[in-house]
Structure 1
Amino acid sequence: MERVLLVEPDIVISGNLTRSLTSMGLGADIEGSGRKAVGKLIDNGYRMAVLNRRLPDLDGLSVLSSIRSLGVAVPVIVIDAAGSVERCVSALRSGADEYLSLPFDWDEFAARTMALLRRESRRSHCSDASTRTVLHGSGITLDRIRRSVSVREKCVRLRPMEFRLLEFMMLNPERVITRAEMLEVLWHRHFDPGTNLIEVHIRQLRSRLGDLAGSSSIRTVRGAGYVFQSDTSQRPGAACASKRRISPPR
């Protein structure tokens, strides 16, 4: 049974959440400490987390920011007794995938949970579309096992979301990827025409890859999205990957 981590100190709320998840065929582990929750989310491979913003030792958003900074992409629903537009926005910007203000309808919680898991399944399917462990293109080598990137044998340090963005684009070369698709697959968010989240990350990624990758490796298609062009992937010296056999990622 797939399991969900409930980061919830209130016994009544955690009990109701457990019953709701059980009715959906999901198991639940309960943790009342934010600090302990960070360790569990890093190590235990949960399918999803439900995170109360009010915790006895940490603000829930501190937990969220900590796991996101470490590259933990587990889907998270933030619940908040002091719900407001501002608090919702701050939770989403910190990396939450959904936000619910207490008290909420349990049918809505179930519907949002299932929708979130469907989006995650589509993202996982897309990420697993190729079993290649090392990707090449435009002089860039991305090792999916070692989580490393190099440009013409020069290693480049990327932040976790920048790595995921580049990986997603290299798995889908020569295809226009829309901003809406990126938002849903990588950030689990519905399309928001007012956000510049994609543009900011693309700009940062281009900057980190530098001139060696070429200005056309990630091409903007005005009004449509972005294309990763891999036509230079076979040039000598494009890789600094290990020559040993690498097992597929888990």
Structure 2
Amino acid sequence: METVLVVEPDLAISENVARSLTGMGLSADIETTGRRAIGKLVGNGYRMAVLDLGLPDLDGLSIVASIRGLGVAIPMIVIDAAGSVERCIRALRSGADEYLTLPLDWEEFAARATAIIRREARRDLSSDASVSTVLHGNGIMLDRVLRSVSVEGNVVRLRPTEFRLLEFMMLNPGRVVTRAEIHEVVWHRRFDPGTNIIDVHVGQLRSKIGNSPASKIIRTVRGAGYLFCSESPALTAAVGH
């Protein structure tokens, strides 16, 4: 049975989270402090982490950022008592995969967690012979197994969501991927939550790619979505920067 690390100081909440995970066929390890959680998340092979941002010893957002900085790509759901759009954006920028507010809606929690597990399972299957594990395009090399990206031979560190966004675009070169498709594939949402989260992540992705020619291959198609150009084609009138 696959295991999820639940980082939650409130016993009642952690027990309810564990109960929900058990109903999904997963087991749960419960931790109450951030310092011990970081140690457990590095190299312990958890399928997913559920992290309360309100921990007694460390700021939850700093934990997310630290884990991502160490190169740990474990999916992370963060929960927050002081929910707001600003805090949601900060959490997602730090590297969280999902942001939920307390009190939790347990049906929504189960749906989000199931979507993450399903997405990761599809990614595991994508490394078979029918799908290339290394994607190339206009100076970018993306290794889907090692979860690494390089531009013109230089390693670029991407957060998990940025990696999924670039991966999705590189799997569809020369085709406009719509905002609805991006919400569905990258965030597993069948609706637009009404934020600029896609624009923020595309902007961060472009910034990390840098000023090389590869930085110009993610094109904005006005009113439609984004286009990954694998060979620096000429722009059409409909394509922006």
| TM score, norm. by length of structure 1 | 0.72
Indicate the larger mover: 141-150 or 29-38. Answer: 141-150
Distance 1:50 1:89 in 2: 20
Alignment-derived partner of residue 174 in structure 2: 174
1:71 Cα shift? 4.7
Distance 1:203 1:211, change over 3 A: same
Query: Could you list the runs of 5+ residues in structure 1 that have no partner in the other structure?
Result: 234-250
Contact 1:4 1:48 in 2 (8 A): yes
Q: Deviations over 1:98-118 (max 9, x none)?
A: 31313x4xxx31442233322
Residue 194, structure 1, aligned to residue 195, structure 2:
yes
Structure 2 unpaired stretches of 5+ = 234-241
Cα root mean square deviation, aligned: 3.2
Aligned match of 1:157: 156
User: What is the identity, as a one-letter code, of the residue corresponding to 2:202?
Assistant: I
Corresponding position: 1:23 with 2:28: no
| TM superposition score normalised by structure 2 | 0.74
Aligned counterparts, 1:18-167, within 5 A: 18-80=18-80, 83-86=81-84, 89-95=86-92, 96=96, 97-102=98-103, 104=104, 108-122=105-119, 125=122, 128=126, 131-144=131-144, 145=146, 147-151=148-152, 154-160=153-159, 161-167=161-167
Quick one: distance in 2 between partners of 1:112 and 1:209? Answer: 37
Size of the aligned set, in residue pairs, is: 222
Describe the SS at the equivalent of 1:43.
Answer: coil
SS in 2 for 1:5: strand
Identity of aligned residues (%): 51
In the alignment, is the contact (CA less than 8 A) between 1:123 and 1:185 conserved in 2?
no
**Secondary structure at the counterpart of residue 141 of structure 2:** strand
Is the 1:53–1:59 contact (alpha carbons within 8 Å) kept by the matching residues of 2? yes
Q: Distance in 2 between matches of 1:38 and 1:91?
A: 21
Tell me which amino acid in the other structure corresponds to 1:15: E
Closer, same or farther: CA 139–6 of 1 in aligned 2, 3 Å:
closer
